[in-house]
Amino acid sequence: MKAVRHVGYKTFPELKDIEKPTPGPGEVLLKVAGAGACHSDVAVFNEFEEGLNPKMDPEFTLGHENSGWAEELGEGVKGIEIGAAYLVYGPVGCGVCRACTRGQDTYCENAADMPYSGVGLGLDGGMAEYVIAPARNLIPLGDADPINAAPLSDAGLTPYHAIKLALPHLNGGGKTALVIGLGGLGLVGVQILKALTGATVIATDMKPEAMAAAEELGAVTVPGGEDQVAKIREITGGKGADAVFDFVGVGATVKTAMQSAAVQGRVTIVGIGDLSTYDWAFMTTPYEAELVNTYWGTVEELHEVVDMYKAGQIKPQVTTYSLDDALEAYQALVDGKIAGRAVIVPHGEK
Ligand code: NAD
Ligand code: ZN
């Protein structure tokens, strides 16, 4: 079968022919419906260097944001229906530690000893005709469209987890949230904030078309520039934003995020950016402003994200590509030319 392979650091992926896999005990073989192209993949093949994260050492199939139809069950698997559509929870931890047993494989206590981080992150991913996932990582989609659902497993789950943890800061009248970076994650983030809170959502991006998309979703936008922080503070009545979500994560956006935060606000950095640093200083930090980073989310939260999708509260903005054109999608992502999310559909749209 055809698969998009991570073949080396600082090396563009390749479309190769590999063997169709067979599910082992506890695993399920899925015929891939959709595989989203996440900016983190660009970090893996373009920015990571040998030795930085051995779990991402080549070679493996990319794609950690997947949906598909169950095709074959490995030994001992029960409760998965052949032919039914599922969303894949990508992180794969040891499965038995405290974090994994509460469905938070992202913070597996045995991560240091694991040879991979997840499906498409060390293990072969979904940019292929078929993918294997542990049965416990599958969330049933029912009648919901699996192709548009594919981005939910990262571009939906990651902002959902970040926003859910920040909800106490947005609970009440007159609250404001700031979203920096309106790509795959940020545009879903705006929708989650609108659905879960009554906060005014302020949004910013370098691309005018990304800001226009956020406005359509009900956000107030503020362009970049020297007076950006002043404009954001003005919209918040001078207070600053109660919760800030940075889906870019470069030094400059972390600085903007912290300068825009309210006293006792919460700043969540989700973007992995350029690995540059941010200088924290007492005198320029709003009192009790929390600065945290978050990584992906839990299995249970992914069920909740799917519930929101089924209820029409989240609709990822998707552009589809065939598997043959997958490298074109990654190139467009590298060039900043994707609006919303690029999703690879190896078996076409149904
Ligand atoms: P994307 O390429 O789809 O979107 C990024 C958006 O940010 C684009 O619209 C771009 O125009 C905008 N942008 C870039 N630089 C900017 C700047 N300086 N100021 C304002 N806007 C800017 O990317 P994505 O797939 O949505 O991923 C976003 C980030 O989140 C990436 O760094 C990715 O690696 C990271 N990520 C983190 C996690 C996690 O668990 N922490 C999970 C998935 C993705
Ligand atoms: Zn674990």
Which bound ligand lies closest to the C-alpha atom of 100? 2
Which of the four pLDDT bands, split at 50, 70 and 90, describes residue 277?
confident
- Asked whether 41 and 119 are in contact (CB, 8 A), the reply is no
Are residue 25 and residue 61 in the same domain, yes or no?
yes
148 plus 170 within the same structural domain: no
Ligand with minimal distance to 110 CA: 2
Residue 328 main-chain phi, psi, to 5 deg:
-65, -40
Q: According to the model, what pLDDT value does residue 350 have?
A: 63
Percent of the chain with pLDDT strictly greater than 70: 100
Answer whether residue 350 is part of any domain: no
At position 73, the amino acid (one-letter code) is L
Backbone Cα Rg of the chain: 20
> Which tens digit of pLDDT belongs to each residue from 184-214?
999 999 999 999 999 999 999 999 999 999 9
Ligand nearest to the CA of 159: 1
- Residue 349: what pLDDT? 80
CB atoms within 10 A of CB 26: 14
Q: Using alpha carbons, select from 47, 130, 136 the residue that is nearest to residue 90.
A: 136
> Whole-angstrom Cα distance, residue 94 to residue 98?
10
Number of domains in the chain: 2
Residues 148 and 20 in one domain: yes
Q: Which residues line ligand 1 (CB under 6 A)?
A: 38-40, 43, 154, 158, 180-186, 204-207, 210, 224, 247-250, 252-253, 270-273, 294-296, 333, 336, 338
The residue behind tokens 């992150």 is: 121
How far apart (Å, rounded) are the C-alpha atoms in residues 190 and 180?
10
pLDDT of residue 162 exceeding 70: yes
Q: What spacing in Å lies between the alpha carbon of 37 and ligand 2's midpoint?
A: 26
How many residues appear in the chain?
A: 350
Return the CATH number at 246: 3.40.50.720
CA of 104 to the centre of ligand 2 (A): 8
- Whether residue 273 sits in one domain with residue 306: no
95-111 average pLDDT score: 97
**Rounded distance from Cα 332 to ligand 1 centre (Å):** 14
Q: Domain containing 181: what range?
A: 157-293
Whole-model pTM over 0.95:
yes
Mutation probe of ligand 1 site: the residue of 178, 255, 270, 301 with most atoms within 8 A of C-beta:
270
| pLDDT value for 246 | 98
Q: Which atom of ligand 1 lies at the shortest distance from residue 294's CA? A: 41
Is 61 in the same domain as 94?
yes
275 has a pLDDT exceeding 90: no
| Confidence at residue 333, expressed as pLDDT on a 0 to 100 scale | 97
